[in-house]
Amino acid sequence: MAGRFCTLPLPFESPGTVRTLAVRRYGLPGARPKAYIQAGLHADEIPGMLVAHTLATLLEQASISGEVVVVPVANPIGLDQRVHGTLLGRHTLDRGANFNRGFAGLDDAVATRVAGRLGADAAANVALIREAQAAALAGTPPRDAPEGWRHLLLSLALDADIVLDLHCDQESLLHLYTGHSLWPAATDLAGWLGCRLVLLSDDSGGAPFDEACSALWWRLAARFDPALPIPPACLAATVELRGRRDVDPELAAADAGALFRFLQGRGVVAGSPGPAPVCPAQVSPLAGVDRVTAPRAGVVCHRVGLGRLVTAGQVVAEIVDPVAADPAAARTPLVTRTAGLVWARAVARFAQAGDPVVSIAGPEALPRTGSLLTD
């Protein structure tokens, strides 16, 4: 079934400037289940764009049982931010804000709209909440270009049963972020993708896109009487497609095929994919991640590779001061606080003090303050 292609203008553009959001739609509008898939929210993370494109070629030939919305380039603003030939798509250049933060939380507005109207029928409650979500979003008009862009993305995704936000890290294993409340329901997604790690949090901090779509459901469930059932009706996940350099047609074909079979298994796309592969991932709380940072500036020398298991106190990297007066004292070892899986490393081989260098996922939460996500 051929998809429908459209472009939606971004609001609040400067005079003489027009940016648009390209959207591909498959299936009948309003059909269930609905899946929303986007890539490039961080505009300098390219692997997901190729995967979304490759998935679209599969969907063009498929029979769609539900509805699929694909946004292959979710951030035209960031994609236009080039400085001296370098694409800077993670933060806004004007204010330095992370593009994947600050998505509107509609919990209070939705709770007010559904209070006194929920009942014992979970499916009816889901329909009522989705109606209230749409009204609450419409009742929160954006005030500037970044808000307008976020508002537009949420308007496409909020009523979906499945939301997949395709990202990548710097150097990393394939992994995903999702909510404690959505696990193990998302085991099939991790299994089809062959994820090496699943990081769980119901509130990672900063209001990223996936939690703007999914967290409302478990937050409402906590606010209302258990006799008024509110299921986690949106399975949202941030899928991290390895590292920035992993832009490869064979990898993209494998990842797109995995997402296609996942959609088949969820009844969005017609056909039987067979049983999902056994999930190979380590499952860790996001609060259990040790992001080992550089205590000083210098050359980064990694001591362990991606996918390695380490023990607490192990040296995982060194910072070398190339101008140290005493060369014998030039190396500063970086050690991890937790045993666990080395799943991400910095691309840069020179770090400033405070830069994250290596990430290790452990089994238990670590003492920390602030957001669980890096900015």
Residue 19 pLDDT more than 60? yes
Select from 1.20.1730.10, 3.60.21.10, 3.40.50.2300, 2.40.50.100 the CATH code of 286-361: 2.40.50.100
- For the full predicted model, state whether its pTM sits above 0.85: yes
150-194 per-position pLDDT tens digit: 999 999 999 999 999 999 999 999 999 999 999 999 999 999 999
Cβ atoms of 24 and 72 within 8 Å: the answer is yes
Rg (CA), the chain: 21
The kind and range of the H/E element at 242 are: strand 235-243
Q: What is the mean pLDDT of residues 293-321?
A: 97
Domain ranges for the chain: 4-280, 286-361
Q: Please give the C-alpha separations between residue 267 and each of 34, 262, 263, in angstroms, as whole numbers.
A: 9, 9, 6
Q: Does domain 4-280 have CATH number 3.40.630.10?
A: yes
Q: Look at strands 289-293 and 340-345 and give their pairing.
A: unpaired
Can you say how many angstroms the Cα of residue 118 is from the centroid of all Cα atoms in its chain?
30
- Taking alpha carbons only, the member of 267, 262, 272 closest to residue 237 is 262
How far, in Å, CA of 141 to CA of 136, rounded?
A: 10
Cβ atoms of 313 and 292 within 8 Å: the answer is no
How far, in Å, CA of 209 to CA of 206, rounded?
A: 10
21-67 per-position pLDDT tens digit: 999 999 999 999 999 999 999 999 999 999 999 999 999 999 999 99
How far, in Å, CA of 242 to CA of 169, rounded?
A: 6
257-304 per-position pLDDT tens digit: 999 999 999 999 999 999 999 999 999 999 999 999 999 999 999 999
- Quickly list H helices, 163-303: 187-193, 209-223, 249-265
Confidence of residue 10 (pLDDT cuts 50, 70, 90): very high
66-113 per-position pLDDT tens digit: 999 999 999 999 999 999 999 999 999 999 999 999 998 899 999 999
DSSP category for residue 318:
E
Confidence of residue 12 (pLDDT cuts 50, 70, 90): very high
Which residue type is seen at 310?
V
Confidence of residue 2 (pLDDT cuts 50, 70, 90): confident
